[in-house]
Structure 1
Amino acid sequence: MTVPLAVPLTENEIADVRSSAPGCTDTLIHLNHCGSSLPDQRVLDVQVGHLQLEATIGGYEAAKVMVDADANVASSIARMIEAESSEIARFGSAAEAWNAAFWSIPMERGQRIIVHDHEYGANAIAFIHAAKTRGIVIDRVPSDEDGQVSVDALAQRLERADDVALISLTHVPTNGGLVNPAVEVGRLANAARVPYLLDACQSVGQRIVDVDEIGCDFLSATGRKFLRGPRGTGFLYARTAILDRVTPSQPDHHGADWSSTDDYTFADGAQRFEYWEYSHAGWLGLGAAVDVALEIGVDRIQATITERAAQLRVMLADIGMTIYDEGIEQSGIVTTATPSVSSANLQAALGRAGVNASVTFVGSSRYDVERRNLPPLLRLSVHCTTTITELERAVEVLEQATEVSTPH
């Protein structure tokens, strides 16, 4: 969404944020925040502290001691995305959260689910599985000239909305730097009264996300990426107004009350999507990560990431790398490649120099790869902890790697 950006963090402020993150050192340059980011020490302290408490007094007993702190995690998440705490459900990953929402949607044979070319591989598998098992039709909306979902094409698809079961959109795709116009999609979905599921695993933590402004019915997110939280954590936002229209596909005795011998009653709010068992230490760590982000200011995190990513794109172009990023708005994910050296070899060269990066593969975004005929891309992702010096060093390594491979 387009929002006025705050002032990026100053060098001193970045240094302060880095000082409380054990992974931010002079020997490591982490440019894989979209894979798994570097947590603040407070996140580790909360996790390890709870594990120690479980080991000392017992898991059930530790949960009882931390019951208020546990509930506060949902409150922090709700504050971050402008929701109610009762609309937040805990999960072990964004994929679990997304699937809980997706499979709760009523789908009848012949109905359409509207998707975009920038869907994640995990989501696409669910679409195909629903087509095979429920007989739904996958209706792919094309991208516009800027690479984002075509709002005009979506509006045309919704002129006949009575057979649409769901609109699914990835806010920030796995590659391409794109930020999809989630607010505009939400306006169309709400006007057509079609459920709207937003995959925000790459946007929550790096961008301002306001579920009321976006208008989504569901939003899934992870802890390990730009939130700088623990792996194995995630959450689902489920708008209160959608609950009467959907049915959790696999409830347990936490998400539903075994109210009589032959019946059950769903729990209130988003809790109906949760399971009783979960990592209490991970959930508390996620809460700490959210609190850290709120303390820094998500608006300032977004401004800093936007600035750093733009700087990196210019620096890569200056050494002859091709930038594959799309969109009017662009995220902190920068994708690049060069015909002279494979992206895997570039990643290896960076790794030898102490720079973390990742490489995209076709199974993570086949729609986009086939549409644009993309090679494997080197994926570099920045955060508010990233410094200019780190970018200069990483680009220097890439320049040397491409020069060595270029015949003279």
Structure 2
Amino acid sequence: MSGSASYDGIQSYDFDIQTMNPVELRAATPGARHARHLNAAGAALPSETVLGTVIDHLRLEARIGGYEAAEAARDRSEQVYALAARLIGAEPGDIALVESATVAWHRAVDALPLRAGDRILAAASSYVSSALHLLELRRSRGIEVEVLPCAADGTVDLTALADALRRPAALVTVAHVPTSSALIEPVGQIAALARAAGVPLLLDATQSLGQLPLDATAIGCDIVVGTGRKFLRGPRGTGLLYVSPRMRELMSPPHPDVRGAVWQHGDAVELAPGARRFETWETSHALRLGLGAALRETLDLGVEAIGRYTTGLADRLRAALAGLPGVRLTDPPAGGGAIVTFVRDGEKPVETVRRLRAAGVHLVAVPASHGRWDLERRGLDAVVRASVHVYNDESDVDALVTALGRTTGARTAPALISSAARADVIVVGAGVHGSSTAWHLAQRGAGVIHLDRFPDGHTEGSSHGRLRMIRRAYPNPVWDDLVDRAYLGWGELSAAAGVPLLTTTGGLYARPAADGSTGLRGPDCVTVSAARAAAIFPGLALGDDFTAVYDPAAGVLDAAGAMRALRELGLAHGVDRRTGVRVERWSADGAGVTVHTADGLLRADRLVIAAGPWTGALVPRLAGLLEVVRIVNIHVGATDPATLSAPALGPFSVEVPGAGLLYGLPAAGGDAVKIGLDHGPADDPDRPQTPVTAAEAARLLALARRFLPTADGDVVDSVACRYTMAPRNRFAVGALPETPQVLVAAACSGHGFKFGPAIGAGLADLALGKQRPDLDFLAPGELG
């Protein structure tokens, strides 16, 4: 640590990575695998532990009942009060657990003995929901609401507050950190003035709990409200309310509940001791336990250490944005901590956010309506808000700055309508094949417009999910060259991304010995007995009825990392990526093509259609040959995860009589072992994807118990996707015979992800006029 600055007793520290291990924390955060998430001030990413805690209790409720599960978890539930109290320097009896900070605010303010004419002094930093409540109290109950003026640094003007407190007041309320900026209010000084005047202080700590130390008792706060979903990294639907013993004597809950009161007899009611009088009986015990897990992790890391790390990372972002042309920081001088707000010249914040999200960088726009007393005063219609946490690192900051600094990015729909934009190549579909094609084309200098009907991160198609399998073992030598190109392509993509995307583990592929054939073959692949297979992968139990092919080159692909890399690399090379754009049809335009979207027309010399399940709708000649099916996968827990991780287990498949082809991937990167069957019922891609049903999961779980004996846990996760199947499980890659300016990559029949970089390179070659005779066996005209 090289230095620190003080915000009224709250320390802001220079960047010191030695106090934090972001690599380890990132690995323990499932959401960090899918995007660069810089929205901790909105809803931070929970850890695997928090997620598991919630799911485990929900499963317990499903097994034994909600009341019984609550009773079983009583001791752990009680610990949540102690953890929350420890966080803010209070006693457990001073804490009520509620559903949100807004619920906490309402229960506290509504319990105050307010009368018409009473004055409430509110900081301009007040959150929108708090302000709306105050305005309603003014309208319906005659309460006077006075918004305090701000000093030059953006904080509450302490002199004006002292003057306002010379007259009787019922309450002072301030947001420690507002939703609309990185401002940090001097809560210690505000509390001292309120205390001297005998006026209670309500502190909204929603944006500060978990990133800034807070000792409510030492400062002298009477009421504190906060949420679990922000910097505490707890589940949504959790919050806390602190009420000091002194204030509890003055407050009366207007809506007592069986949780917070005892009906003694007749009309005699006794309020529960402590702050629990503000609670209600019905609550999510699973979410409450998840909040407890998040609080424990926060306290174990230390709020001061979290503050040092996140402030330093945010300072790095501030410095980078300050030097970026066309970008203006909007935080007031008293800003600091983990939040940074800014605007980009000539672009509405909501469009900036949309463009950054398309680049895989997630943050939010805050409109003036969410902080009108603050943003309107400063002449801002909206701001972009970025907020970092311990799972972020310098690469996330650099990715944001790089994406923001590009002059070519996703354009808005009105630009499409105003003029029919033109590109060298239009690519439809942002799955692995479309994204790989767009990257390869842009690398070679082509102007590329990349379209997808859904926003990034959707789960409607076939390219989502954490891991995929790669192997050299294939049934026909005709695939060998493309397999070789796939391995080379993953090496090139890993090098370009700067992270390894392929991990070699070896793989086993089994079928009944009675079939007389192993089905697969390939370079360096060997047939092995069940006994030998057990020695290779002790985690897989085949039995003597099976024989297998061992592929030493097989391995696991980081699918989520690959999709993120392809998106970012494409944008870095100038791809004009436009998500949420629905392609309705296309038409040949001389030697080129016109693409009709819901937002307008686009024209290009070449069109590449890699639309997955929606290919048939865009290429009618293929529609009758393609079948879209529903595929489900489950992740199964284990008492000893090492028995289902490499080297004890690698990717595998088993042809199971009566069930079909069971496939699986080892536990890796925090994920439990994954299994699925490679065929399923017909699916309609125009209907939203539905969750895996209990029956679907139970079928797979029974197979897991049979072939993976140490997979003795519950189903800890599940995912559904869509395969687009073609005759003989083949692909269609290349130009359409009747319109050679239109190319397709379609019907990858459940085994296409591993070929992503190779198919992308091939389509780029074909689109730019290079012959690829090695792909002739996949020509669309030969499909069927």
Q: What range is the shorter-chain TM-score in?
A: over 0.9
The alignment partner of 1:89 has SS state of strand
1:119 lines up with 2:126 in the alignment: yes
1:309 lines up with 2:314 in the alignment: yes
Give the structure with the higher percent helix. 1
Aligned partner (choices 93, 96, 101) of residue 94 of structure 1:
101
1:328 lines up with 2:323 in the alignment: no
Aligned partner (choices 173, 180, 202) of residue 168 of structure 1:
173
What TM-score comes out, normalization by structure 2 length? 0.50
How many angstroms does 1:328 deviate by?
Answer: 2.7
Q: Measured at CA, do residues 4 and 140 of structure 1 come closer, stay the same or move farther in structure 2, by a change above 3 Å? A: closer
Q: Deviations over 1:192-245 (max 9, x none)?
A: 111111111100011111101221111011011110000011010111111111
Matched with 1:386 is 392
Q: Measured at CA, do residues 17 and 141 of structure 1 come closer, stay the same or move farther in structure 2, by a change above 3 Å? A: same
Q: Distance in 1 between matches of 2:87 and 2:152?
A: 32
Q: Given that residues 119 and 145 in structure 2 are in contact (C-alpha distance below 8 angstroms), is that contact kept between their aligned partners in structure 1?
A: yes
1:72 lines up with 2:79 in the alignment: yes
The residue identity in structure 1 corresponding to 2:210 is G
1:251 lines up with 2:250 in the alignment: no
Q: Deviations over 1:272-305 (max 9, x none)?
A: 0000110000000000000001111111001111
Q: Measured at CA, do residues 329 and 375 of structure 1 come closer, stay the same or move farther in structure 2, by a change above 3 Å? A: closer
The alignment partner of 1:395 has SS state of helix
Q: Measured at CA, do residues 20 and 402 of structure 1 come closer, stay the same or move farther in structure 2, by a change above 3 Å? A: same
Q: Which has the larger radius of gyration?
A: 2
The residue identity in structure 2 corresponding to 1:30 is H
Q: Distance in 1 between matches of 2:161 and 2:111?
A: 23
Q: Deviations over 1:114-164 (max 9, x none)?
A: 00111111001111111112111111111100001111110111112x3x1
Q: Measured at CA, do residues 333 and 400 of structure 1 come closer, stay the same or move farther in structure 2, by a change above 3 Å? A: same
Q: Deviations over 1:233-273 (max 9, x none)?
A: 10101111111111112111221111121121111000100
The residue identity in structure 2 corresponding to 1:102 is V
Q: Distance in 1 between matches of 2:279 and 2:31?
A: 32
Q: Given that residues 256 and 265 in structure 1 are in contact (C-alpha distance below 8 angstroms), is that contact kept between their aligned partners in structure 2?
A: yes
Aligned partner (choices 263, 275, 280) of residue 275 of structure 1:
280
Q: Distance in 1 between matches of 2:300 and 2:113?
A: 39
Matched with 1:35 is 42
Q: Distance in 1 between matches of 2:243 and 2:9?
A: 23
Q: Distance in 2 between matches of 1:346 and 1:305?
A: 23
Aligned partner (choices 353, 358, 361) of residue 352 of structure 1:
358
Q: Deviations over 1:313-353 (max 9, x none)?
A: 11111112101101435231211002222212211111111
The alignment partner of 2:252 has SS state of coil
How many angstroms does 1:5 deviate by?
Answer: 5.3
Q: Deviations over 1:26-64 (max 9, x none)?
A: x41001111100111110111011001100011000111
The alignment partner of 2:172 has SS state of strand
More deviation in 290-299 or 368-377?
A: 368-377
Q: Given that residues 9 and 384 in structure 1 are in contact (C-alpha distance below 8 angstroms), is that contact kept between their aligned partners in structure 2?
A: no
More deviation in 251-260 or 57-66?
A: 251-260
1:126-165 aligned at under 5 Å gives the runs 126-160=133-167, 162=168, 164-165=169-170
Aligned partner (choices 46, 53, 57) of residue 46 of structure 1:
53
The residue identity in structure 2 corresponding to 1:174 is T
Aligned partner (choices 8, 16, 25) of residue 8 of structure 1:
16
Q: Distance in 1 between matches of 2:218 and 2:62?
A: 43
The residue identity in structure 1 corresponding to 2:349 is S
The alignment partner of 1:293 has SS state of helix
Aligned partner (choices 88, 91, 99) of residue 84 of structure 1:
91
The alignment partner of 1:159 has SS state of coil
The residue identity in structure 1 corresponding to 2:246 is A
1:335-374 aligned at under 5 Å gives the runs 335-374=341-380
Q: Given that residues 9 and 300 in structure 1 are in contact (C-alpha distance below 8 angstroms), is that contact kept between their aligned partners in structure 2?
A: no
Gaps of 5+ in 2: 1-7, 412-784
Number of matched pairs: 402
Q: Measured at CA, do residues 150 and 354 of structure 1 come closer, stay the same or move farther in structure 2, by a change above 3 Å? A: same
The residue identity in structure 2 corresponding to 1:375 is D
The alignment partner of 2:41 has SS state of coil
1:167-206 aligned at under 5 Å gives the runs 167-206=172-211
More deviation in 5-14 or 42-51?
A: 5-14
The residue identity in structure 2 corresponding to 1:173 is P
Q: Given that residues 149 and 180 in structure 1 are in contact (C-alpha distance below 8 angstroms), is that contact kept between their aligned partners in structure 2?
A: yes
Q: Given that residues 12 and 337 in structure 2 are in contact (C-alpha distance below 8 angstroms), is that contact kept between their aligned partners in structure 1?
A: no
Q: Given that residues 118 and 365 in structure 1 are in contact (C-alpha distance below 8 angstroms), is that contact kept between their aligned partners in structure 2?
A: yes
Q: Distance in 2 between matches of 1:276 and 1:131?
A: 30
1:224-263 aligned at under 5 Å gives the runs 224-263=229-268
Q: Deviations over 1:47-101 (max 9, x none)?
A: 0110011000110001111100000001011111110000010101111011111
Q: Distance in 1 between matches of 2:71 and 2:139?
A: 44
Q: Given that residues 349 and 401 in structure 1 are in contact (C-alpha distance below 8 angstroms), is that contact kept between their aligned partners in structure 2?
A: no
How many angstroms does 1:375 deviate by?
Answer: 2.6
The residue identity in structure 2 corresponding to 1:126 is H
1:216-231 aligned at under 5 Å gives the runs 216-231=221-236
Q: Measured at CA, do residues 209 and 9 of structure 1 come closer, stay the same or move farther in structure 2, by a change above 3 Å? A: farther
More deviation in 394-403 or 284-293?
A: 394-403
1:207 lines up with 2:221 in the alignment: no
Give the structure with the higher percent strand. 2
- Relative contact order, CA 8 A, sep 6+: which one is greater? 1
The alignment partner of 1:360 has SS state of strand
Matched with 2:570 is none
Q: Given that residues 179 and 327 in structure 1 are in contact (C-alpha distance below 8 angstroms), is that contact kept between their aligned partners in structure 2?
A: no
The alignment partner of 1:90 has SS state of strand
The alignment partner of 2:296 has SS state of helix
Q: What is the CA RMSD across the aligned residues, in angstroms? A: 1.6
Q: Measured at CA, do residues 369 and 5 of structure 1 come closer, stay the same or move farther in structure 2, by a change above 3 Å? A: closer
Q: Distance in 2 between matches of 1:205 and 1:125?
A: 26
Q: Given that residues 50 and 281 in structure 1 are in contact (C-alpha distance below 8 angstroms), is that contact kept between their aligned partners in structure 2?
A: yes
Q: Distance in 2 between matches of 1:229 and 1:201?
A: 12
The alignment partner of 1:212 has SS state of helix
The residue identity in structure 2 corresponding to 1:344 is V
Q: Measured at CA, do residues 12 and 242 of structure 1 come closer, stay the same or move farther in structure 2, by a change above 3 Å? A: closer
Q: Given that residues 346 and 401 in structure 1 are in contact (C-alpha distance below 8 angstroms), is that contact kept between their aligned partners in structure 2?
A: no
The residue identity in structure 2 corresponding to 1:134 is R
How many angstroms does 1:402 deviate by?
Answer: 7.3
Q: Given that residues 10 and 212 in structure 2 are in contact (C-alpha distance below 8 angstroms), is that contact kept between their aligned partners in structure 1?
A: no
The residue identity in structure 1 corresponding to 2:26 is R
Q: Measured at CA, do residues 94 and 262 of structure 1 come closer, stay the same or move farther in structure 2, by a change above 3 Å? A: same
